[in-house]
Structure 1
Amino acid sequence: MKQLTLLLGFLTFFMTYACLGQEIAILKYGGGGDWYSNPTALPNLIQFCNTSIGTKIDPKPETVEVGSVSIFQYPYLHMTGHGNVFFSNEEADNLRTYLLSGGFLHIDDNYGMEPYLRRELQKVFPNKQLEELGANHPIFDMTYKFPEGLPKIHEHDGNRPQALGIFEKGRLLLLFTFESDLGDGWEDPSVHNDPEEIRLKALQMGSNIVEYAFKS
C-alpha cells in the first residue's frame, strides 16, 4: 500500500508538470477495434483549436498504447473506433492511474464500440458508472455555446446524442460521446461530404472539450 501511495504521488507530480503543456495523443487499444479510424479527424481538430482558441498542440498527434507509461506524457488522450475494445487488467490499472493522476480521456464512439467499452470501463473503475452530463455542464459553455448539449453529427441509429462521463471528486476525467460521432465531423470535407455547418458544429464542440480539459 505504501508503494502504491508513493507511485500515485510520483505520477500526480509528473502529470502536474505534463498538464502545463498542451499535447494530445491517440490511444491504441486491443480487441480488434479500429482505434486508427478517422485519420484526418484529430489533426483537423488540433488545427482548429490552435487557430480558434489559441492552443499550441503538435499538429501531428502521437499514438500511445493503453498499457504504456508513455500515456503519462500527455494530459489529453483521444480514443475512437467502431468495434470491440479490450483492456487487460494491467492496461486497466495503468489507465486508471493515469486518469486519477490528472489525465483526461475523450472517447468518441465512431459507431458500434459502446457495449464493449462499457464492459471494459468496469475493469478501469469497478465502482463507478458513466453518468450523463446535463446541458448546463461547463463543457457546453466554453468558447462555443451549446445550450442544448452535445450536437448530433451523424444519424447512426437515430438516437439522441449523449455526453457521458466518469467523475472523481467532481472532476470529469473521462468523457464518452455517444450517438453523435464528432470525429466524422472533424474529418476532411471530402470523406463524409457533411454540410459545412455540421462540420463547424463538430469542430466547435471538439474545441470546447479540449479547452475544458486543459483548463480543469
Structure 2
Amino acid sequence: MKKGFIILFMSCLCILNAQKVAVLKYSGGGDWYSNPTALPNLIKFCNDNIETNITETVETVEVGSTDIFQYPFLHMTGHGNVFFNDNDAENLRNYLLSGGFLHIDDNYGMEPYITKELKKVFPNKELIEIPKTHPIFNAEYNFPNGLPKIHEHDGKAPKALGIFHEGRLLLLFTFESDLGDGWEDPEVHNDPEEVRAKALKMGANIMKYVFVN
C-alpha cells in the first residue's frame, strides 16, 4: 500500500511539473553524460517552433531514485556499459507504467548492454520496431521513412524500437541514428545544417508525442 501511494503521489507530481525533462544517470561505467548541449538545444528548438513550454534547465536524475517521477520525460544516452540493479529496474518499471516516458538514444556502443538491462525492467516485454505509420513520426514533422540517419557507424539502417504497454509507447530506443549528436551545438560535430534540422525535427516529434498528444 505504501509503495502504491508513493507511485500515485509521484505521478501527480509529473502532472504538476508537466514540461520538465532530465538526463538519466546510470551505473556500469557508460558515459551517461554524453552530448551535454543536446537536450538544451532541442528544448529551445521545441519551445521556439512547436509551442511547447519546456523548462530550459536540464537536470540529472539517478535511475534508482524516486526523483525520476518528477519528470514526465527522461533522456538516456551513452557509448558503453549500462547496469541496473534490482532497485533500479523496479523503480524504472514503476515510473514507466505510471505514465513516464524514456527515450534512449544509442550514441554508438550502448545497444548490447541496454537491451540486456531492459529485460530486468520488463522481463515479459520485447523491444519491437515501431512502424513508420506511428504518430511519433508525424506528430509535428513528417518522416514517412521513419527514423532519420544522422551519423554513420556500421552502415546499418537507423531503427526506432519501442516497448508498449496497453497500447501506449512508454520507451523509445533510437539505434544507429545518433539523434543526440545532431542536437548538439553545430561546432561539436560540424554536421551540415540540413542534417541537424532533421535531428531536431525528429526530436521535436518525440517531445510533442510525450507532452502534447
TM-score with structure 1 setting the length: 0.95
Unaligned regions of 5+ residues in structure 2, if any?
Answer: none
> Of 1, 8, 11, which residue of structure 2 is paired with 1:15?
11
Q: Are the counterparts in 2 of residues 33 and 84 from structure 1 also a CA contact under 8 Å?
A: yes
Structure 2 CA distance for aligned equivalents of residues 87 and 111 of structure 1: 19
Say whether 1:135 aligns with 2:132: yes
Say whether 1:155 aligns with 2:152: yes
Q: Which amino acid aligns with 1:77?
A: L
> Of 189, 193, 198, which residue of structure 2 is paired with 1:192?
189
Q: Are the counterparts in 1 of residues 158 and 177 from structure 2 also a CA contact under 8 Å?
A: yes
Q: What SS does the corresponding residue of 1:19 show, helix, strand or coil? A: helix
**1:215 Cα shift?**
3.2
Q: Which amino acid aligns with 1:33?
A: G
Structure 2 CA distance for aligned equivalents of residues 131 and 55 of structure 1: 29
Q: Are the counterparts in 2 of residues 152 and 179 from structure 1 also a CA contact under 8 Å?
A: yes
Q: Deviations over 1:147-193 (max 9, x none)?
A: 11000000111100000000000000000000000000000000100
Structure 2 CA distance for aligned equivalents of residues 203 and 157 of structure 1: 22
For residue 28 of structure 1, what is the aligned residue in structure 2? 25
> Of 136, 142, 145, which residue of structure 1 is paired with 2:142?
145
**1:16 Cα shift?**
4.3
Q: Are the counterparts in 2 of residues 12 and 102 from structure 1 also a CA contact under 8 Å?
A: no
Q: Are the counterparts in 2 of residues 26 and 63 from structure 1 also a CA contact under 8 Å?
A: yes
Structure 1 CA distance for aligned equivalents of residues 61 and 50 of structure 2: 25
Structure 1 CA distance for aligned equivalents of residues 196 and 188 of structure 2: 11
> Of 69, 77, 80, which residue of structure 2 is paired with 1:83?
80
Structure 2 CA distance for aligned equivalents of residues 8 and 165 of structure 1: 26
Q: What SS does the corresponding residue of 1:106 show, helix, strand or coil? A: strand
Structure 2 CA distance for aligned equivalents of residues 50 and 15 of structure 1: 24
Number of residue equivalences: 212
**1:9 Cα shift?**
5.5
